[in-house]
Amino acid sequence: MSKPVSRIWVVLRYLLAFALFGVVLQFTFRKLAYHWEWGGVWEYRQQFINGWFFTLGLSACALMGSVLLGTGLALARRGGWAVISETARIYVELIRGTPLLVQILILFYGVFDQVGITNRFVAGVLILSGFAGAYLSEIIRAGIEGVGASQIESARAIGLSTVQTYRYVIFPQALRAILPPMAGQFASLVKDSSLLSIIGIGEFTRAAQDVNSFTLGTLESYLPLALGYLILTLPISLWTQALENKHRFDT
């Protein structure tokens, strides 16, 4: 019976936090004497909806791609092939050391244009996957290296192969360590998708920018944007917390 009570308490805490946040916003805008004009923005509600669903699909594909790339880079960094390991390390440092905005412009107008990738959705997924994958690789690698060497040696001693060692010994223990930072990176990936508006991708932020230019209602255009991103990122946080509790065990 304790588990349902704890979930109810979590929901109540979130509702209380949102209520307090709403009170602060209401007090602030009353002091500013801001006159809300929602009528014009409401006429463009479909544009918000289309942009939100586009961002949802874009982020979902990029999340899967970044996990696959991050895992591959982490394993490459730990591999015995020096060339592959160094290539993965250089890629990670290059991506993490340069702004995403610059990467978007160079990749879309330079690299992708030359290789014939003209679909903006595909380009957006590849850019976000490549960017987030570099950060996830370091998170995953740190989790793997956090597993004690004695356990890996014990797995080899009982005849487990390398694949079996990773599957049954390393990954289950590394998972609980990497889930919290991975959740933060996933949320950042969703929000980073807003930068794709500079190459004309019709995602959520681009929709808000267009509505703002049509209606001149800045706050009325961008408050729904903030709420929409919160709706996208909050389930990720709750999902990873549930996974963290599921894989928690005593050592």
Note whether 220 and 41 are within 8 A (CB): yes
Give the pLDDT score at 247: 60
Quote the DSSP letter at residue 251. Answer: -
Query: Average model confidence (pLDDT) for the chain?
Result: 85
Q: Side chain identity at 247, as an amino acid letter?
A: H
Distance (Å, rounded) from C-alpha 61 to C-alpha 63?
5
pLDDT digits (tens, 9 = 90+) for 53-69: 999 999 999 999 999 99
Q: Is 36 left (phi over 0), alpha (psi -120 to 50) or beta?
A: beta
CA dist., res. 86 & res. 40, Å (int)? 54
Please give the CATH number for the structural domain made up of 45-246. 1.10.3720.10
Instruction: Write the Ramachandran bin of 212: left for phi over 0, alpha for psi from -120 to 50, otherwise beta.
Output: alpha
CA separation for the pair 200, 214 (Å, rounded): 17
Question: Over 80: is that where the pLDDT of 32 sits?
Answer: no
Q: Token pair for residue 138?
A: 């370091």
Q: Cα separation of 121 and 203, whole Å? A: 9
Judged against a pLDDT cut of 70, whether residue 244 lies above it is answered with: no
